[in-house]
Structure 1
């Protein structure tokens, strides 16, 4: 079958994806964990090794449920500083292979290696050397998919896992995609997969054969057009470099134990403190604050509010976040809370926005933020602590993926 226009003549886009990243770092740093099922987290599984995944463990999953599926699993506490350090080391290696890198998260990226053949070898040769260097220099397994589009490269890396290298040659995209299950397509979740199954559609090839019009009648115009384009390997997007994050965020798993409202609010305060410091360090301003909650039944809710003026002030972000939490508190009282997260989105650069002048002629709250940032930078994060956080147990925090 002919591949639609929009793909390259050469498979020169790499999708590099570290395998079970958090769990692999733990197995690297503790030899006694190698070859054993490892769960990273506590009350909720943040990540699982492939040995645990083989027993049916997935994230996020309640720790008790994961242990029932895999009684031999070893539970380890998250060490996000170690994961960040490993991520930086891997991305430094990426930069040796191409100047065109688009980071997707802490553990995956697209690399455009088109035009490198004359000086460095074919894309597959580059991918093989990249994998070898990450294994040798960072000590982690990584899977690389090689294809003519970002979408097909990402699917190739998923199919090639764990610790593999899979090339989809230009012209062979449809032969590769069409036998795959529909869940391999971006945008196909459990409900869409069920709806397609009820219509007798189980493979990507069946979606392509159904056609865009009939697929749109089944799923709606937007989803139908999107999934049909992917089923035909249409993805004209380029690897984008130098793009600044549109959001920053963090979340904390609270476990299955019932938490008091004071504990939940204190967790939110700690998250806001950290995000405010990151916001000012990056010289960004936030326009929209998004609160994310997960309940004991694993259902999630999202609440958001857009500010009238962009800001980097912790007190303003905290006031908005507390307001969103107050709105959601009736649901928390009824259903419990196992995870709380906050995202700061619609970010703008400091110099790109004209800020309103404070009415009293001085920005004392802003000065306080800067003073606290300076103390924490010089003497450590614990140098200055909010009173509401004193004496409260530390909860593991993980970064949210960038948009």
Structure 2
């Protein structure tokens, strides 16, 4: 029998550490981007109420109209982009939306430019479709793409570029002028822009500027409820783009997941229509954790970035002399602390580990202390 999936598909470096951490109860979990807050009460109420009212049936593949109408309002209010409900597709999480975006722009084949460092799950979706990932560097301290590099690595087979601001793992929010340069690059080379805006409302110092504000006709924007409303396990996301593209992707979704759970969609509607102070409160907590963690690391003599958004720190582990995966595995085994190895995000993050600010303040403080101890012990042995 013939099996057609690529044989080199592997789990991400984050998932490797996560799975090992699950085998060790009591591990300090700093490796995953999962808020330690519960979903807001009005989200839980909306889900239960919808179920009790009989909203437990198939829906339109594109999503219930009241939710898409509320998403239209949110996209205009938060992202500054005018879309109509027919330009929005509700998805079972952000990942399926990204997968559809890769499928629609490249089919089976083609090439897509992706950030390095960048979220490793981009690669899994692309490789399963036979799409070639072309990494473009995001280098400290500013983590800005280089237009010269983009021109140099562009191939005739390139169909799209992935932009992720606020970024995972860098936390970078790109200023308007820099985003305009990237949009002009995409327009000049007739590329699709796949804009991963999952962290669009988790920002501290600089407001994000969506490329869809400048090029709505060539931008597929991907969003999620997971980070904004602490709903990671609910699996609810959405994609917005030009109507012909969204309608085409909806027909694909019809044969894949048919429709997203109806009570879950009403929970999403409840999230959007309920009090938004819960989002501001969570972001304030992330900001406080960021500032305290940076101060703690500075006191330890360990270098890190200062993210504009999202909830991650990239901590320089080069003083340890260890590859990031080796350090992450040994830190887990020796100190009971789970961190994400920089190698999971690309070669440009090899000298770093990613620390999640979505963990509790106590876990964060103790975990960073144990990281310091581990690095100092390694230095003493060299």
What is the TM-score of this pair, normalised by structure 2?
0.27
Between Structure 1 and Structure 2, which shows a larger proportion of strand residues?
1
Larger Rg: 1
Q: TM-score, normalised by structure 1?
A: 0.26
Higher relative contact order (CA 8 A, sep 6+): 2
